[in-house]
Amino acid sequence: MLNEKQISLFLLAIENLQKPIGDWTDSAIIDHLKTNRDLAANYLLQVVDEQDNVNEKGLSKNGPQVFATIHPVSHYASQCNGDAFPVKFEPDTDGYHWRGGIGGRYRLSDLSLHIKNDQGEAVAIPIFNAHEDLQLLERILAPYEQRAKKGDQDPEWITKWTTELIQRLETLEKTTHDNYVEYEE
């Protein structure tokens, strides 16, 4: 039996089929309907599959189930109402490795991952823990450093990218200093 959330999300996908299309060309109308029909069908299949593979607490019968919410700053943020939805990892050459939700495919950078505990509550899976921030930065920068050493790095792009990063870090530093409140013990 489908729960209220699953039915409402499926109906939301179906509702996308009815968006006004104005004076679009015939091919644009066909593309719009096909895309949204496929999204709705994809979500319905996920919901049915999920119902067959979960116990009474909503936990996967096949072991731990990973769930996700979409980051508010993601391009796909409008596809999530804040509730965690089931996802599964399927390697893909274009980086959209996570399958699930209304959109069907997501990059890790678009998602916050969760796992359900024994009580059925979604618990965040941290991307990194305390004091691992420098290791994360190392993982981000290492491939760029390797490409720069090989001469495969576009100098104009890296200059633009580093300038943007420096500006954001300087803004962060200023905001931190402006807003820091020292607490007395």
For residue 100, give the H/E element and its range. strand 98-100
Return the SS3 of 182: coil
CA distance 18 to 14: 7
Residue with tokens 């939700």: 101
- Full-prediction pTM beyond 0.75? no
* % of the chain with per-residue pLDDT over 90: 19
How do residues 33-60 score in pLDDT, each as one tens digit? 556 555 555 555 555 555 555 566 555 5
pLDDT band at 163 (very low <50, low <70, confident <90, very high): very high
